[in-house]
């Protein structure tokens, strides 16, 4: 079955320390993968996407993610957290359903940044 | 300015009433989507449309209906058959439904059924 799993519902870091948000997926092929961020009561904004080019993808606000096919993972990282990074983060995988590719969302990881 | 608009931002309805949520985009995107967001459950797909006059059920379509008469518009009706309609509803669009294109999201509508 095709699925996307975000391994942590909450991640808590101190400002200035590294961030790691984990995402694994289950698929028989290499799908398109995305990370989105959502600030409270807002819509979602694209952070970055992987579409079979370079395996290390750089996004906005200093975030990056590495696609590892052997591990079926697409973890999101940032070297140094900022207070403004506190938000909900979603890993999204486009799976084929019938004749269409439909985005499937993970349950989200809430990033908490302490001063 | 190109983007997606959803209205209203907040909506209150009495139990048993149908309610329609608006979603408009001026990005010239072919594909549009409706999601429901509940705490701790991520976004769940209600309906999607890849082209005008065509739409498909998502994972939680029961109690909802949509139409796609114009490329720019994809309204969602929450019917009285939806057992637990109180939630945050997000509309999105993408250039096509090929899966390689990112989605653009509206600001959402928070529906509360009293």
List, for residues B32-70, the tens digit of each pLDDT value.
999 999 987 889 999 999 999 999 999 999 999 999 999
Q: Which residues of chain A have pLDDT under 70?
A: none
Q: Give me the pLDDT at residue B98, please.
A: 73
Q: Give me the pLDDT at residue B1, please.
A: 60
- Name the minimum distance, in Å, from the CA of B108 to any CA of chain A: 6
pLDDT surpassing 90 at residue B81: no
Average pLDDT for chain B? 92
| DSSP E strand stretches across chain A | 3-6, 10-14, 19-21, 23-26, 32-38, 44-50, 56-58, 64-68, 73-78, 87-97, 100-105, 109-114
Q: Give me the pLDDT at residue B76, please.
A: 97
CB contact under 8 A, A101 and B110: no
- Name the minimum distance, in Å, from the CA of B81 to any CA of chain A: 25
pLDDT surpassing 80 at residue B20: yes
> Residue B60, SS3?
coil
CB contact under 8 A, B108 and A102: no
CB contact under 8 A, B97 and A102: yes
């Amino acid at each position: 079955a095709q699925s996307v799993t975000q391994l942590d519902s909450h991640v808590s870091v101190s400002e200035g320390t590294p961030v790691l948000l984990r995402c694994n997926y289950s698929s028989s092929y290499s799908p398109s993968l995305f990370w989105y961020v959502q600030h409270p009561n807002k819509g979602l904004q694209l952070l970055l996407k992987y579409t079979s080019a370079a395996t290390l993808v750089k996004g906005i606000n200093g975030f990056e993610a590495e696609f590892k096919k052997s591990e079926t993972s697409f973890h999101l990282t940032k070297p140094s957290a900022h207070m403004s990074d506190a938000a909900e983060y979603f890993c999204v995988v486009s799976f084929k359903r019938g004749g269409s590719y439909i985005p499937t969302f993970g349950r989200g990881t809430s990033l908490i940044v302490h001063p | 300015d190109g983007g997606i608009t959803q209205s209203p931002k907040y909506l209150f309805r009495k139990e048993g009433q149908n309610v329609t949520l608006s979603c408009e985009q001026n990005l010239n995107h072919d594909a549009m989507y409706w999601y429901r967001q509940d705490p701790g459950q991520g976004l769940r797909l209600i309906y999607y449309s890849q082209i005008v006059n065509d739409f498909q059920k998502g994972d939680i379509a029961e109690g909802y209906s949509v139409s796609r008469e114009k490329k720019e518009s994809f309204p969602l009706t929450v019917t009285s058959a939806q057992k637990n309609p109180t939630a945050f509803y997000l509309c999105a669009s993408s250039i096509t439904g090929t899966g390689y294109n990112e989605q653009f999201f509206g600001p959402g509508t928070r529906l509360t059924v009293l």
